[in-house]
Amino acid sequence: MDKRILGKSGLEVSAMGIGCWAIGGQFYFDGKIDGYGQTDDAESIRAVRTAVDLGINFIDTADAYGIGHSEELLGEALTGIRDNVVLATKFGFLGNADTKTLQSVCIDPAYIERACDASLRRLRTDHIDLYQLHVGDISISQYDPLIDALERLVAKGKIKSYGWSTDVPAAIRMIGANANCSAIQHEFNLLTNADEILRLCRENHLAAICRSPLAMGFLSGKFDRNTVLGTDDVRGAGHGWTEKVFRNGRPNPHALDTLDAVREILSSNGRTLTQGALAWIWGKSDISIPIPGFKSVKQVTENAKAMEFGALLPEQIAEIDRLLQEIGA
């Protein structure tokens, strides 16, 4: 596939990145598990290196994932190949590494630089290409000090550009015009409409980094009406924000019906459902960069192959749009 430009940074990235939440391992938020079950660090490192070998050069993580563990793994995995990738991470949550618990939010300017320095150490790099606020919404009074802090980090060379992980249009309007703002990270998949966010990204020359492009793995097709995920998995832990796809560990019946309605189109031309879900995103927007998560070399390999198939055709996108409207998705 064609490459993407990471917004106003001008950096060229692969049409797909990898998201490194899952490889951070288990941690807790609001008293509940906020991870995807047990992980194998050696497999995670192999998977990252495999992704790079397969042409994926955009990697996204956060200091919250595993309370720093995801960044530490990336630092090890990218030793010797750091210059081959565009590296993004996030800040804004305070965590306790000993208890593996996210405890609060902090975007105090002095803290932001300390958090950046800590991420640089864990990632074993001298700069972060894209540094993103992880907190989806903040008060107006916090905005100017936040931008000032980020601009100082750009001036010091610690970060190349910045962005915001948010689904709030007003937040995008606030930050989007800044010259060193390059991207918005937002939820986008077959179950989530993002038309307004994509329009704002295009108007402000921002890359649209799509988190949860596979709807927390749901769009892989591996779940059915008999699936029950335990409380040791974020999808079964009882977080309210998962309910559109998973309710108390069970797939949402409406989401299952939606996937069934478009299954044949997604899996056309030899694609897996996973590859079709990624192809749909590219067919909807040429500024979108999906960042599917992974826990294994096998998953990364399947995801990367989606780039060989490319985007769904316009007529396939139109037919899916019609079916989604018909089912009320």
> Do 267 and 273 form a contact (C-beta atoms < 8 A)?
yes
Q: Which of 224, 256, 239 is nearest to 27 (CA)?
A: 239
- Specify the 3-state DSSP secondary structure of 145: helix
Give 33's strand partners: 28
d(CA 71, CA 23): 10
317 residue type, one letter: I
> Do 180 and 149 form a contact (C-beta atoms < 8 A)?
no
Catalytic residue among 28, 65, 131, 162: 65
Q: What phi and psi values does residue 146 have, to the nearest 5 degrees?
A: -60, -50
111 is catalytic: no
Q: Which of 161, 243, 147 is nearest to 209 (CA)?
A: 161
Tokens of 231: 């409380």
Q: Which of 259, 169, 265, 269 is nearest to 214 (CA)?
A: 259
| Angle CA 55–120–184, to nearest 5 | 60
107: DSSP letter: -
How far from the centroid of its chain's Cα atoms is residue 70's Cα? 13
> Do 163 and 184 form a contact (C-beta atoms < 8 A)?
yes
Residues with a known catalytic role: 65
